[in-house]
């Protein structure tokens, strides 16, 4: 069990050779520890150079470091905090860490700084998840999406829905508390109508959620087609390297080969699959089964053909005719030559267009995690039930349950069981 009252510390910069290493300290004893190490506590948020000693009485000189002091509640965690910008030698970091332990601090657990920020009201659960996504962001689209969430865009949307529900509940209570009053029927009809509009907004948000999750986790694009049409060569050409084995023998690719690349600022996994045909070879037949499975689960399918138009050509978003150096592409197909590179630029442009279409989240902030979808699904279910209930008391109870589901998303209520899983994904020092 984590001791939330302890003063904690962790290295906030990466490992490996570097000029500077930053150690963060947070907790009630931060000022005392800083005074013992550096001789005094500098003015808030002002960087000063100090000699760090193992004790306040002329102990061993540990380093000459840049020191910053952040008194709570105006710090990241909401607690008294400090930063030590050290020379990044392993011996320096080890010596300072040992001195911090000797002064009563302990190493932080993964995500403990951000968890304290959540506990002290500096951010909510959605914003904390945005910070985790920002740390993991590999592409510009992931960075932009994570920043929007970390800045509270998703929190404001859900809080706004909760406020609308609270307003509706207040008026619903009037119907319950004054059943004998001659209230106009338009009041109840208006409440039901407002409830329907809120439900429509939530359903639209759910429909948008797949795009955001694709940005966060990346798209999967399956490359399928008969044997010997150049699927592996095409994947290699798009990847810019020899990722898949190429052979003139049919059935060379028997298992899916995944190649990761960036398209339109989104991570994309190209899956080179076995050639689709009837076969008595059990190994190749298994490869064909897996190819069809990958195609059924992919975000996008590229159907490749060459020489002969397939009798069962599918309705893939992208149909690619390879080997245009040997035969012209039929109408509606993108003509390329994986061998010479002809048409590859057009194919890449079409792929980027599809990636943008599949990840377009519009103007509203999108949900980014399965947890968000589950919470909104629960709220939607309660509101749909409320629409079917005639008694104001029952309709009000269903609306309250929907508001509680929204509260669990932001961390306002009932989230203790979620905290370990949410903050456990953070790196040490954040």
Residue partners of 272: CB distance under 8 A and separation at least 6: 223, 231, 232, 235, 243, 244, 253, 256, 257, 258, 259
Q: Is 233 annotated to bind ligand?
A: yes
List, in sequence order, every beta strand (DSSP E) within 27-99.
48-53, 61-70, 81-87
User: CB-side exposure of 72: number of CA atoms within 13 Å?
Assistant: 17
Q: Could you list the pLDDT tens digit for every one of the 430 residues in the chain?
A: 456 689 999 999 988 888 999 999 999 999 999 999 999 999 999 999 999 998 755 678 999 999 999 999 999 999 999 999 999 999 999 999 999 999 999 999 988 999 999 999 999 889 998 998 888 888 788 888 888 888 888 899 998 888 888 888 877 776 666 555 555 666 667 777 888 899 999 998 887 777 777 777 788 888 888 888 888 888 888 888 665 544 454 444 445 688 888 888 888 888 888 766 666 667 666 777 777 787 788 888 888 888 787 766 555 678 999 988 888 888 889 998 988 889 999 999 999 998 888 877 666 677 788 888 999 999 999 999 988 887 777 888 888 898 889 888 887 764 454 455 445 555 666 6
Q: Is 249 annotated to bind ligand?
A: yes
Q: Is 252 annotated to bind ligand?
A: yes
Q: Is 230 annotated to bind ligand?
A: yes
Q: What is the 8-class DSSP label of residue 101? A: H
Q: Is 24 annotated to bind ligand?
A: yes
The whole-number pLDDT of residue 89 equals: 92
Going by C-alpha positions, the residue among 312, 318, 337 that lies closest to residue 222 is 318
The whole-number pLDDT of residue 23 equals: 97
Q: Is 247 annotated to bind ligand?
A: yes
User: Would you list the DSSP string of 385-421?
Assistant: HHHT--SHHHHHHHHHHHHHHHHHHHTSSS-HHHHHH
Q: Is 232 annotated to bind ligand?
A: yes
CA-to-CA distance for 77 and 18, rounded, in angstroms? Answer: 26
The whole-number pLDDT of residue 241 equals: 67
CA-to-CA distance for 50 and 33, rounded, in angstroms? Answer: 14
Q: What is the 8-class DSSP label of residue 350? A: H
- From residue 404, alpha-carbon distances to 156, 316, 381, 383, 408 in Å are 16, 42, 13, 12, 6
Q: What is the 8-class DSSP label of residue 328? A: P
Answer yes or no: pTM beyond 0.85: no
CA-to-CA distance for 25 and 68, rounded, in angstroms? Answer: 10
Domains along the chain?
A: 8-123 (3.30.1360.120), 128-215+369-410 (1.20.120.430), 220-356 (3.40.50.300)
The whole-number pLDDT of residue 249 equals: 46
- From residue 88, alpha-carbon distances to 24, 66, 164, 273, 365 in Å are 14, 12, 52, 47, 39
Going by C-alpha positions, the residue among 110, 112, 320 that lies closest to residue 229 is 320
Q: Is 229 annotated to bind ligand?
A: yes
Q: Is 75 annotated to bind ligand?
A: no
| Bond prior to 73 in cis (omega within 30° of 0) | yes
Q: Is 214 annotated to bind ligand?
A: no
User: CB-side exposure of 70: number of CA atoms within 13 Å?
Assistant: 15
Q: Is 228 annotated to bind ligand?
A: yes
List, in sequence order, every beta strand (DSSP E) within 215-310.
219-224, 257-263, 266-272, 300-305
CA-to-CA distance for 318 and 300, rounded, in angstroms? Answer: 8
Q: Is 272 annotated to bind ligand?
A: yes
The whole-number pLDDT of residue 37 equals: 94
Q: Is 122 annotated to bind ligand?
A: yes
Residue partners of 244: CB distance under 8 A and separation at least 6: 231, 232, 233, 235, 236, 253, 257, 259, 272
List, in sequence order, every beta strand (DSSP E) within 157-216.
none
Query: Which own/partner contact pairs does 118-121 have at CB distance under 8 Å and 24+ positions apart?
Result: 118/411, 118/419, 118/423, 119/4, 119/78, 120/72, 120/73, 120/77, 120/78, 120/79, 121/78
């Amino acid at each position: 069990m984590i001791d939330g009252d302890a003063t904690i510390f962790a290295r906030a910069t990466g490992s490996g050779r570097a000029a500077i290493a930053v150690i963060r300290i947070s907790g009630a004893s931060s000022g005392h520890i800083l005074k013992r190490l550096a001789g005094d506590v500098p003015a808030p948020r002002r960087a000063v150079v100090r000699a760090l000693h193992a004790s306040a009485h002329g102990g061993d000189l540990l380093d000459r470091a840049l020191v910053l002091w952040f008194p709570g509640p105006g710090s990241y965690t909401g607690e008294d905090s400090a930063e030590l910008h050290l020379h990044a030698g392993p011996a320096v970091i080890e010596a300072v860490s040992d001195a911090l332990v000797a002064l009563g601090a302990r190493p932080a657990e993964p995500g403990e700084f951000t968890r304290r920020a959540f506990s002290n009201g500096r951010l909510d659960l959605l914003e904390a998840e945005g910070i985790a996504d920002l740390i993991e962001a590999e592409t510009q689209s992931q960075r932009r999406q994570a920043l929007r969430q970390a800045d509270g865009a998703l929190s404001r949307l859900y809080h706004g829905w909760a406020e609308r529900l609270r307003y509706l509940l207040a008026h619903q209570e009037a119907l319950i508390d004054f059943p004998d009053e001659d209230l106009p029927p338009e009041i109840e009809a208006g409440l039901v109508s407002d409830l329907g509009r809120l439900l429509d907004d939530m359903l639209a948000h759910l429909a948008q959620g797949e795009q955001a999750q694709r940005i966060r986790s990346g798209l999967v694009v399956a490359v399928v087609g008969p044997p010997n049409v150049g699927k592996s060569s095409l994947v290699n050409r798009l990847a810019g390297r020899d990722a898949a084995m190429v052979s003139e023998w049919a059935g060379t690719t028997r298992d899916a080969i995944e190649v990761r690349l960036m398209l339109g600022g989104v991570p994309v996994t190209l899956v080179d699959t076995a050639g689709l045909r009837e076969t008595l070879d059990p190994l190749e037949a298994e490869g064909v089964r897996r190819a069809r499975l990958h195609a059924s689960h992919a975000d996008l399918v590229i159907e490749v053909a060459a020489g002969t138009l397939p009798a069962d050509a599918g309705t893939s978003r992208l149909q690619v005719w390879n080997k245009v150096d040997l035969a012209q592409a039929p109408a509606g197909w993108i003509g390329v030559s994986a061998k010479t590179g002809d048409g590859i630029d057009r194919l890449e442009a079409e792929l980027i267009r599809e990636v943008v279409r599949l990840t377009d989240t519009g103007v509203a902030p999108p949900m980014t995690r399965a947890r968000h979808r589950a919470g909104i699904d629960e709220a939607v279910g309660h509101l749909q039930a409320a629409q079917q209930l005639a008694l104001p008391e029952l309709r009000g109870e269903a609306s309250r349950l929907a508001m509680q589901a929204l509260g669990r998303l932001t961390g306002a209520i009932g989230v203790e069981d979620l905290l370990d899983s949410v903050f456990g994904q953070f790196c040490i020092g954040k």
